[in-house]
A and B are shown apart, each in its own frame.
Chain A
Amino acid sequence: MKIKVFYILLLFIISACSGEEKISTINRGILPQPTPSPYNLNLDLGSKISIHEFGHDNRLEWWYHNGHLEDQNGEKWGFHFVIFKSENSDKDNYVAQMSISDIKTGEVFQLARADKGLNNLYTDNLGTLFISDWKYTIGPKPGQFEINIFTDDIDLNLYFDSLQQPMLHNKIGWFETSLGYSYYYTWPRQKTTGTIKIRDKILSVSGESWFDHQWGDFFVPGKPAGWQWFGVMLDNGDNIMISQSRNTKGNVELLYGTYQNKNGLVNHLNDGIEIEVLDDWYSSKTQTTYPSGWKINIKKMDLNFIIMPDILDQEIYEGLPPTQTYWEGKSKVFDNRNNYIGDAFVELSGYRDPVQIEWTKNNE
C-alpha cells in the first residue's frame, strides 16, 4: 500500500514535470485578407471628396503637385512637390520632396525632408501636415492646398485653388495590378499663386498646377518595373492623364488615361493609347538612361501630340534611397505641326539600375 502511494506521488511529480507535448502542423488553407471592395469615389465627388483628401490607412499614399509658373519678370518656372506616406510600420513614415526648375538657366533645385507626421493636425475640413520644418495644408475647401517651405537657400510658398472638377481615373478612381490596388484622383488645373526664393531672390509667381492623390495597398518595385506618367494641361483648357506601368518583367501591364475637357466632361481611355519614345537622356550622375521626348497617339480622341522636356536633367534623387531615383520634369506639348499647345509634367520611374541588397552582394 505504501509503495503504491509512493509510486502514485512519483508519477504525479513526473507527469507535472514533463507535460504533454503538443505538435502543430502548418495549415495550408490560410489565405490573405481579400482585396477590399473599392469605394465609389464618384459618389464622393463634390463636397464629400474632402474626406479623401486627408491620409488613409493604407500601405502607400502620396500627395503630388506639379506646376507651370511665371514670375513677375515673365520668367518661366516649373516645380514639383510630393509627400510620400508609407505605413510599413506601426507608425507612418513621411518623405517630402520638392524641386524647382529654372527654365531660363536650365537649373534644377531640389530638397527633401523626412518625418513621421507626428505633429499633423486635422479638423473636419483642414489638414496640416508637418514634414520636419515644411508645412503642407489641405483645405479648407476641396481642391485647396498650400505649401510653405522656408529654408536657407530655397523657399516655396504656394497656394492652390482648383478651377475644375476632380478627375477620377479608371472610371471609379481605383485600379488594380499584379502589384496591388490603388485609389487615384486628380485636381487637374489649379490656380496657383505665391512666392519662390532662389539665391536670396524672392519672386512672386503665378500659374497653373496639377494635383494627384493616390493611396492603396500596393508595392512599387524598381527597374525593370516602373512607369511613364504624363499630366498634360492643354491651352484649350482640356486635361489629359496618361499612365503606362511596367510589371516586374518589364512588360507593359497597364496603359490607360483620363481625358477631361474644360467643361469637366471626362473620357476614360482604357485602350487605343500609343506612346512612342523619341529620344533618351543619360544621367552621368546616376548612370541612368531615361526616355526623353514622346509622341502620343490617343486613337479614341483622334489626338496626336508630342511632349518634349523643357530641361533634360530634371532627375530627382534628393532624400531618397538610390533605388527610388526618378525623373520628374516640366515639359512642353506640341501638335503634329510642332505648334505649342500646352504644358505637361512627366514622371519616369524604374529606370535606374537596381542597387543590390547587402546580402546578395555578400553572396557574390
Chain B
Amino acid sequence: MFETFGKKIIQLRLYVVIIWVFMIFISLPFAPQAQKYLKPGGFSNENFPSVEARKLIQEKLDVSTIAFDLVFSHKDWSPFDPRFTENVQAALLPLYDYSEVSSVVTHLDDPNRASNMSNTVHATVGLSIELEESLEFLKMIEKEISPGALEMIITGGPALYRDISLASEKDLRKGELFAFPLATVTLLIVFGTIIAAFLPAAVGGGGVILGLALVYLISQSIDMSVFALNIVTLLGIGLGIDYSLFYTSRFKEELMNTKDVTQAIINTHKRAGPAIFFSACTSLVGLVSLLTFDIMMLRSVGMGAVIVIFCALFASLTLMPVLLSFIGYRINYFRILPNRKSKFEFWLPFSKWVMSKPWLILIPTTTILIILATPVLNMRLGTVDATILPQSIESRQGFDVLYEEFDFGKKTIIPVIYTFEGKTFSTENLEYAYLIGKNLENIEGITRVKSIVNIDETFTFEQYLLMYDNPNTLTDFEVRNIVENFARDGAILFLLESDYHPFGPETRNLVTEIRSYKLDKGHMFVDGGPGETTDIVNSLYNKFPIVVLVVVLVTYISLMILFRSIILPLKAVILNILSIFASYGALVFIFQDGNFSNLLNFQPMGVIDSTLPILLFAVIFGLSMDYEIFLLSRVSEAYKKTNNNTLSVSIGLQKSGSIITGAAAILIVVASSFIIADVVVVKAIGLGLAIAVFVDVTLVRALIAPSLMRIAGPFNWWLPSWLDKILPNISHEN
C-alpha cells in the first residue's frame, strides 16, 4: 500500500508541490493568529458542582465572581492620610460611569484592604460581565484610571488571565525561536550536510504552519484553551521533524543501495512509511485519550495534537518524498561535518557489551529509574494559581503584593452556599443555618467561618434571633456588610477559612467532607478554588485509570499483532510506564518541591497541576512507544532472518540506535526550548517531556531493553499458536 502511495506521489509530484505551496500560502496569515480565538483558562467544566455553586452565588446573591484589583501605594503617605484617600477616590471615579462595573470596594469601605506592612491598599472592582469580556473591558478602562501621586498595579482575575495569554504567546515565540535552530543544529550533527539537515526542519515547519492554521480555524467554532497552543506547537515541531528525519535517513540509506532517486523514494515509502504511520498512530492513541476528559484544556491539547500530528504525518509522507525527488543526490551536498565511516560502530559493540552482562546492567539501571520515580510517592495533585506567571509581569507583582501584604492565598477560602426554601430570617431557617455554621466551624482544618450566623463564636442562637429580628436595624457596619453580601431569602453564603494549601489534597478532603453533609432541608454547594480543584481532580482522576488501562491495552494488543509476541509488548508497556514515572518523579522533585527553582527561574508550585501527569502520560506513552517500535521492528526483522535472539537485538540496536538517538535528541532540544517559557506549566511540560525522552533513549532503550531481551531469550518471541491464528497479520518494515 505504501509502495503504491509512494509511486503515486512521485507521479503527481508537481501537483503535490503546488497543493502544498497553496496550503502553506493560505495558512501563513492564519498560523500566527492561532491564539486569537483560544479561550483563557479551560480548566473547568460547566457541569462541575463548583460551577453550579458559582452560578447560584451569582444568581442568588448578586455577587460578582469576576473582579480585578487595583493595588495603590505611596512611599510616605499612610493609607488613611487624606491625600492618599483622595488620590484613590479620584483614580476610581471613572469606573462608576460603566455599567459593567457592579461594585467598587476600597479600604475606606473595608479597612482590611489597607496593608499592615506598608503604605499599600487594594481596591476590588467587581464586574457584571463574563471573563472573556472582562479582558477587553480591562484593556479599555485601564487607560482611564489615573492614580495621581500613587503607584498603581492592576491584578486579579482578568488581568492575570490577560497576562497568562500574553505570556503564553511570548513563550510560544521564544520556544519557536529556539526550537527550530536547535533542532536544525541537531539535524546537522545527525546528517552532517546542510540540505539533509534543513529539509526535515522545513518539512516539519510546513506541517506546523498548516496545523496551527487548522487550529485557528477550528477554534472559531469549538472552544479551545490558550494553554494548549504551546504544547501543540511543541509536539508539532518535535514530531514533524522526527518523522521527516526518519524519512530522510531511510532515503539516504536506500539511495546508497539503489543509486536511483525514484526507486529510493519508493523503497523509503514502502519501508519507512509504515513505521512513520505506526509511530504517528501510537502517538495518537495516547493523545486521542485526552479528548475523553471533561476539561477543555486537555481536550484542546488532544484536538490540537491530533491536528498537528496528522499534518506532520501528511507532510512527511507527501511533501518530503516530493522534495527529495527534486533534491535527489543533492541531499548530501554542503557537508559541514566529516562523514562517519559507519554509524553502527558504536551501537554494535555497545549492545554486545550490554547483553554480555544483562543482570549487571538491568539491576542498577532499573534501580536508578526507581530512584528517579520515588518522589512520585509524595506527589500532591492540585491546580495552580498566578504563580505560574513570572514575577516580572505586573499582574503577578500585584498578586504577590496581595499575597504578602493581604494574605491572599495564604488563607484558603472555601465558599459554601446553602440554599433553602423560605425567608432567611425565619426562626426555623435561621436556626438550621446556625447549626450548619456551627458544624462547619467544627470541621477539623477549618480555622474560621464567616456568615450571617458566624459573626462571633460567643453569640448564641437566641442572640442571632434578636440581631436579625429586623435586619434593617443592624448598625454594625461589618455585620450589615455580611448580611447584604452573604444572604438573600433562600440562600446563605458561608466563607470558610483554612490554613491548608488552597489546591492541595487536604483542602480537597475538606471540600469532600462539606459536600458529604446530608441536610434535613436545603442543599449545600462548594465553590471557589478549592471546590473547583476538587472537581477537576475528581473528574480527571476518576477517568485517568480507565484511560491508562485502555491506552495500555490498545498499545499492548497493537504491539502483539505487530511483533507476534506476548512478552515483548509487555516489556514495552512496562518500560514505558517506568519512563513516565521517572518523568513524574522529576516533576515532583523540581516543580512541586522547588529544587533547581533558581536555576530554572520559577516559584515552586507546592502541588503538581493535576493536568500535567495526564498530559505527560498521553504524550510520553506514544513517543516512547515510537522508539520502541523503531527498535523492535529492526530486532524483529533481524530475528526473522537469523532466528538468534541475542544477535537480532544487536542488529536491531545497530540499525535503529542512531536514528532513535537522533530523533530523541531533536525532541529533547525542542522540548527543552520550552523550559525557558515564562508560564511555569509550559516549562514543566517541556522539562517533563525532555527528561522522559532522555531517560527513555538512554536508560530504557539502550540498557534495560536489551538486557531484558537477553534475559528473556527465546521467550521474547513466544506467542501461543491459538493466539497466532486469531491475530491479524500485519507485516512491518523499517
**Residue pair A222, B483 in contact (C-beta under 8 Å):** no
The residue among B442, B448, B460, B462 with the most chain A CB atoms within 10 A of its own CB is B460
Total interface residues in chain A, CB < 8 Å: 61
- 11 inter-chain pairs at a CB distance below 8 angstroms, sorted by A residue, are A26-B439, A30-B441, A33-B458, A91-B112, A93-B477, A94-B111, A179-B463, A248-B466, A321-B475, A324-B475, A357-B472
Asked whether A222 and B489 contact (CB < 8 A) given A17-B546, A114-B80, A179-B466, the answer is no
Any A CB within 8 A of the CB of B144: no
**Residue pair A114, B439 in contact (C-beta under 8 Å):** no
- State the CA gap A358–B471 with chains docked (Å): 11
Total interface residues in chain B, CB < 8 Å: 60
Cβ contacts A314-333/B at 8 Å (1 or 0 each): 00000001011000000000
In the complex, which residues 343-364 of chain A have their Cβ closer than 8 Å to any Cβ of chain B? 350, 354-360, 363
Residue in A178, A357, A363 whose beta carbon sits within 8 Å of that of B484 in the complex: A357
Any A CB within 8 A of the CB of B130: no
- State the CA gap A219–B465 with chains docked (Å): 12
Smallest CB gap from B545: residue in A = A13
Cβ contacts A19-34/B at 8 Å (1 or 0 each): 0011111111011111
**Residue pair B466, A357 in contact (C-beta under 8 Å):** no
Residues on B with beta carbons closer than 8 Å to the beta carbon of A133: 78, 80-82
Any B CB within 8 A of the CB of A247: yes
* Residues of A participating in the B interface, judged by any CB pair closer than 8 Å: 13, 16-18, 21-28, 30-35, 59, 86, 88-91, 93-94, 113-116, 118-119, 131-133, 178-180, 217, 219-225, 247-249, 321, 323-324, 350, 354-360, 363
Any A CB within 8 A of the CB of B513: yes
**Residue pair A23, B516 in contact (C-beta under 8 Å):** yes
Residues on A with beta carbons closer than 8 Å to the beta carbon of B115: 118
- State the CA gap A118–B665 with chains docked (Å): 58
**Residue pair A89, B513 in contact (C-beta under 8 Å):** no
Residue in B111, B407, B478, B489 whose beta carbon sits within 8 Å of that of A115 in the complex: B111
In the complex, which residues 448-467 of chain B have their Cβ closer than 8 Å to any Cβ of chain A? 448, 455-460, 462-463, 466-467
**Residue pair A24, B112 in contact (C-beta under 8 Å):** no
- State the CA gap A350–B80 with chains docked (Å): 28
**Residue pair B484, A359 in contact (C-beta under 8 Å):** yes
Residue in A132, A248, A354, A363 whose beta carbon sits within 8 Å of that of B80 in the complex: A132
Residues on B with beta carbons closer than 8 Å to the beta carbon of A113: 80
- State the CA gap A199–B551 with chains docked (Å): 84
Any A CB within 8 A of the CB of B75: no
Residues on B with beta carbons closer than 8 Å to the beta carbon of A25: 517-518
Q: Return B486 CB to nearest CB of chain A, in Å.
A: 10
Residues on B with beta carbons closer than 8 Å to the beta carbon of A26: 432, 435-436, 439, 517, 519-520
- State the CA gap A31–B434 with chains docked (Å): 10
- State the CA gap A21–B456 with chains docked (Å): 33
Residue in A22, A31, A86, A179 whose beta carbon sits within 8 Å of that of B478 in the complex: A86
Asked whether A88 and B439 contact (CB < 8 A) given A217-B456, A219-B455, the answer is no
Residues on B with beta carbons closer than 8 Å to the beta carbon of A363: 489
**Residue pair A357, B545 in contact (C-beta under 8 Å):** no
Residues on A with beta carbons closer than 8 Å to the beta carbon of B435: 26-28, 30
The residue among A30, A32, A115 with the most chain B CB atoms within 10 A of its own CB is A32
- State the CA gap A24–B512 with chains docked (Å): 10
Smallest CB gap from B462: residue in A = A178
**Residue pair A221, B513 in contact (C-beta under 8 Å):** no
Q: Return B383 CB to nearest CB of chain A, in Å.
A: 20
**Residue pair A17, B473 in contact (C-beta under 8 Å):** no
Any A CB within 8 A of the CB of B469: yes
Residue in A24, A86, A91, A357 whose beta carbon sits within 8 Å of that of B471 in the complex: A357
The 4 closest A-B pairs by CB, nearest first: A132-B80, A88-B478, A354-B472, A222-B473
Q: Return B89 CB to nearest CB of chain A, in Å.
A: 13
**Residue pair A224, B473 in contact (C-beta under 8 Å):** yes
Smallest CB gap from A217: residue in B = B458
Q: Return B497 CB to nearest CB of chain A, in Å.
A: 9
Any A CB within 8 A of the CB of B488: yes
In the complex, which residues 543-594 of chain B have their Cβ closer than 8 Å to any Cβ of chain A? 543, 545-546, 549
Cβ contacts B72-104/A at 8 Å (1 or 0 each): 000000101110000000000000000000000
Smallest CB gap from B406: residue in A = A91
Asked whether A13 and B546 contact (CB < 8 A) given A91-B112, A359-B487, the answer is yes
Q: Return B581 CB to nearest CB of chain A, in Å.
A: 17
Residues on A with beta carbons closer than 8 Å to the beta carbon of B487: 359
Any A CB within 8 A of the CB of B470: yes
Any A CB within 8 A of the CB of B116: yes
**Residue pair A116, B116 in contact (C-beta under 8 Å):** yes
**Residue pair B469, A16 in contact (C-beta under 8 Å):** no
Residues on B with beta carbons closer than 8 Å to the beta carbon of A222: 472-475
